[in-house]
Each structure stands twice: as C-alpha cells, then as structure tokens.
Amino acid sequence: MLEAAAIFLAGFWAGMINVVVGSGTLVTFPVLLLFGYPPLTANISNNIGLVAGGLSGTWGYRRELAPNKELIKRLLPASAIGGLVGALLLLVLPPSAFNTIVPVLIVIGILMVAFGPALQRRTARQQAIMAASAGERPGGASRSTVGLMAGIFVLGMYGGYFGAAQGILVVGLMSIMTTVALQQINAVKNVLTTAVNGIAAITFMIVAWHYIDWKVTALIACGALLGGLAGAKFGRKLPPMALRATIIVVGVAALVKMLFFA
C-alpha cells in the first residue's frame, strides 16, 4: 500500500508539473527505480501512464489553444514522427547514448526560456518590418517554419526515448522561434508532448508489451490525470514572468538532480 500510494502521488505531481512546466518524468522515474523496478520497465510504464496527465492538461488549456490551431497542425506531425523514432531507438540503443546529452539540452532549454522575451521582441520587429516592406499586415507565428519543425522533430525523438525536460525544451524552442505568448506556447507544448507520449505508448504496447508493468501504469495514469487538471488550473493563472521563473527553477532543479543525484 505504501508503494502504491507513493507511485500514485508521484504520478499526480508529475502530471501537474508536466502541464505547468515539463520534466515530470524526473519525479516518477526515480521513484520507480527506488522501488526496484528495472530501468526499461520503469521508463516504458511511466511513459504510458503520463499520457493521461497530458490529455487532462491539454483539455484544461483548451482556451489558449484556439488561436494557434494552424501552428499545431504544422508541428503535430513532426512531434508524432519524432516520438515514434525515439520510442524505437529506446529499444535498440543503450541508455548512455542519450543520457549524456540530456544535461546540455536542459541548459539550452533554460537559456532559451530566460532570453525568450528579448528574442520574441526582436522577431516581432523583424516580422513587422518585412510585412511593412511587402505592404502586408504583420502575422504568422513562426520565424522559420522549417527550422521550427526540425527542432520539434528532434525534441519529439528525445521525448519518445526518455522525455525528461522535453516540455522545457519545447517551450524554450518556441520562445525564440515564434512570437506566440508564453501561456499559449505552454498550451501548444502540452499538445505536442502528449502526442509524443501517446505515439511512444502505442509503439511500446505493440513491440514491447513484456516490459510494461500495468499496475505501475495504472497508478501513474490515475495520479497524472488528476495532476494534469490541477496543473492546468494553477498554470493558467500564472503571469508570464512567474511562469517563466517556474520553468527556469524546475529546469535548474532537474539539471542538478541529473548531474549530482542520478
């Protein structure tokens, strides 16, 4: 009962963190290892369970999604394909292949979030100048659609493989390559990361069923479902500065945990 309660609470906390910031895997994955689950089983079962939190969090952010439907249509396929590739890589590559670069990616994500506002203002000015010179109204969400899609694909691949801090990286990337408001970026992030987890989960159920511990998956799913709803309610009320600070703090904590307490 103690183990079940701990896994459920870890799922709740991870679901809430994933919706507001990202990196919930850094909560649930170590808890499962603490209780003696093999790393691959823990990773796969955790991935499937956290899909529920992504779905409830996406529903909670539905109002922020409405202005960015076209952007989501462009990015969702890249995220989904990346998630599929990453899930397959998990089954054939040693964990060290990606884990060595995770701290670097987290640092990059933190820096992108921190300097996002200045870069967004610069992007908006450039778009306004280009639109004015062409005699058009300023518009369009992305600075470079191809570059943004490529980045989302790579992050989707990383998310399908392990996924820790994927949300922070997606927010960081979109902060510097789009002019979308931060709360709306967070909403789009929830859609993309949920798609990655969902595709990876389906892949695992098809080709790695024997690695799934359904008791663990169910406990995390129940906790994450409630955590996603709570996270959406809390996260949507945060002002942009507070949300950005939360992302940076959680990102630094995730980095310290991975570097010194792994």
User: Which of the two residues, 91 and 100, has the higher pLDDT score?
Assistant: 91
pLDDT value at 132 more than 70: no
Nearest to 192 by CA among 60, 65, 28, 12: 65
The neighbouring-strand residues paired with 142 are: 178
In this predicted model, which residue has the larger pLDDT, 127 or 187?
187
What average pLDDT does this structure show over 10-36? Answer: 84
Q: 238 or 9: whose pLDDT is higher?
A: 9
Q: How far apart are CA 225 and CA 231, in angstroms?
A: 10
Domain boundaries along the sequence of the chain: 2-260
The predicted pLDDT at position 161 comes to: 83
pLDDT (tens digit, 9 = 90+) per residue, 224-246? 999 999 988 887 777 767 767 77
Confidence of residue 98 (pLDDT cuts 50, 70, 90): low
Pairwise pLDDT comparison (68 vs 90), residue with the higher score: 68
Rg (alpha carbons) of the chain, rounded to whole number:
18
- Give residue 137's pLDDT: 45
Q: What is the DSSP letter of 142?
A: B
Q: Ranked by mean pLDDT, which of 20-34, 89-103, 175-189 comes out on top?
A: 175-189
Q: Which two tokens stand for residue 149?
A: 């899609």
pTM score, two decimals?
Answer: 0.76
How far out from the chain centre does Cα 100 lie?
19
- What CA–CA distance (Å, rounded) separates 12 from 217? 13
69 compared with 123, residue with greater pLDDT = 69
Q: Tens digits of per-residue pLDDT, 174-215?
A: 888 887 888 898 899 999 999 998 998 998 899 889 889 999
What confidence tier does 140 reach under pLDDT thresholds 50, 70, 90?
very low
